[in-house]
Amino acid sequence: MASKGVVKRGQIVDLYIESLAYGGMGLAKMDNFVIFVKGAIPGQKVSAKIYKKKGGYAEAQATQLINESPYAIKPKCNHYWICSKIQNLSYEEQLNEKACQVKDVFSKLGGFTDFKLDYIKGAKNIYNYRNKMEFTFSPNRWVLTDEPEGVDRSFALGLHIPGRYDKILDINNCFLQPEIGNRVLSISRDMCLKYEQLKPYNPKNHIGFLRFLMLRFGFNTGDFMVNIVTSYDDINKLSPLTDMLLKKVPEITSMVNNVNTRKSDVSFGEYETLLYGETHIKEKIRDLTFEISANSFFQTNTFQGEVLYKEVEKLINFKGDEIVYDLYCGTGTIGLFLSKKAKEVYGFEVIRSALDDAEKNADYNNIGNINFLKANLDTFFKSGQLPKKIPKPNVIIIDPPRAGMHPDMAQYLPKLEAEKIIYVSCNPTTQARDAKILYQNGYEIRKAVMVDMFPHTPHIETVMLFSKQGF
């Protein structure tokens, strides 16, 4: 085998894929030199072309399959490798690889040499599980190499090609969303191709009308929202599409038009117009009902979201007298879910609209022992902004964004002296980094659970219980 010294950009090499790297690429080695391979899964032998080389590793694209993996399965989607990435890997092996990634990250980055996952909560529904989808309208369709010549490149409704803001893969069927979503996709595409006025927005020259098609599903209620994001306000221009959707998809319970006149390529608008039904959908988790508006945050997998919250509840092991802090609470779903078992819950969040949703859902469910505070958690506790009337916590729940906690927050958190800290994370790398800080400040990992929120994708969700060392 070649050594790292002769691995060059443009080189074709034969590689055996040993494992799945974080992010979904296959991991191979040449004389212990690490090569990450796009489009490859553990157990495969592939030919791959090196397209990037750095000091400690290289990246390659699989170009030919030499030997198939014993873990390979036939994927449902013909372009899975662009978005879900690992749909051709058996679900059992997906769980195994994700678990190995968590262990590896905590061992190497966190320094937890004896780290182990206590158990893994796999999903019962591994297809059609997403309750929210975001599709982009575009005049710049990405044409795959196996598509016929002469494909119209001037229209696409689908998902971004990774690393390309301006190229969209046209999607006919997404097997991660409910089938009704695919019906809406098909109708929307047909109407846009039929009516000249329904032109997609071009992010390069900022000309065009349609920007995004956002779908939200209430799995336990049957509610269904269609949110069409446009570059300016013109309901009459939009009406051929909206009228046809309402005619052919009677399951729609809410239709809104978000208007984003800004150049920024984001799916939430500056303002919203209700076109049909309610301004929100409802979803139930256990005995709670949540109102979800077009731009609200809600766990994207309803069923596994409930599994996740139950794991948090189990790790806390409530006695009934607990003061709970829910940090990075978003719309308050975790805190609301736990409120009936706790004495009091305090949710902290920086986004005002999320707090508005949280307070609304607390009122809707007649929950009186939960309070929400606007707080920038990068500085909030350190700067002493916590009102004196709020009691100190027995339990702290942390569910930060992918970047994890701010270093100041991670350092300050142990000073609150909570008996238990529950850390929910969608990024084991930053969780391991923060766990190391907690350990240095007197907290140990007592339990670690992986909950698979997104089957067929490389995403990982973990829940960990920390408590004071020596207890």
The three state secondary structure string of 177-207 is CCHHHHHHHHHHHHHHHHCCCCCECECCCCE
Residues in the chain: 471
Stretches where the chain sits below pLDDT 70 are 1-5, 165, 470-471
Residue 158: which of 147, 41, 273 has the closest Cα?
Answer: 147
Are 66 and 78 in contact by the 8 Å Cβ rule? The answer is no
Nearest to 138 by CA among 116, 115, 110, 160: 160
Q: What is the dotted CATH code of the domain comprising 4-72?
A: 2.40.50.140
What positions carry a catalytic annotation?
A: 426
Percent of the chain with pLDDT over 70: 98
What's at 296, amino acid-wise?
S
Of 267, 279, 278, the closest CA to residue 214 belongs to 267
User: 99-125+301-468 and 132-285: same fold?
Assistant: no
* Domain 99-125+301-468 classification at class level: alpha beta
Strand partners, 254: 225, 277
pLDDT at position 84, please? 84
Closest among 226, 304, 299, 212 to 259, alpha carbons compared: 212
CATH class of 132-285: mainly beta
In the prediction, which pLDDT does 264 show? 83
In this prediction, residue 2 carries a pLDDT of: 47
Total Cβ atoms within 10 A of residue 453? 22
Sequence-separated contacts (24+) of 299-303 with Cβ below 8 Å: 299/131, 299/333, 299/453, 300/130, 300/131, 300/132, 300/453, 300/454, 301/123, 301/129, 301/130, 301/131, 301/453, 301/454, 302/129, 302/131, 302/219, 302/220, 303/123, 303/124, 303/125, 303/129, 303/219
What is the C-alpha separation between 153 and 160, in angstroms, rounded? 14
Boundaries of every domain in the chain: 4-72, 99-125+301-468, 132-285
Q: Token pair for residue 402?
A: 């992918």
Q: CA–CA separation, 28 vs 35, rounded Å?
A: 5
Per-residue pLDDT tens digits for 106-150: 999 999 999 999 999 999 999 999 999 999 999 999 887 777 777
Helix/strand/coil percentages in the chain, nearest 5: 25, 30, 45
pLDDT at 470: 67
What is the token pair recorded at 153? Answer: 């490149």
What are the angstrom distances between the C-alpha of 410 and each of 161, 415, 421, 434, 448? Answer: 35, 10, 12, 6, 19
Report the candidate in 158, 461, 180, 421 with the shortest Cα–Cα distance to residue 300. 461
Q: What is the pLDDT of residue 5?
A: 60
What does the pLDDT read at residue 438? 96
Could you tell me if 318 and 341 are in contact, meaning their C-beta atoms sit under 8 angstroms apart? Answer: yes
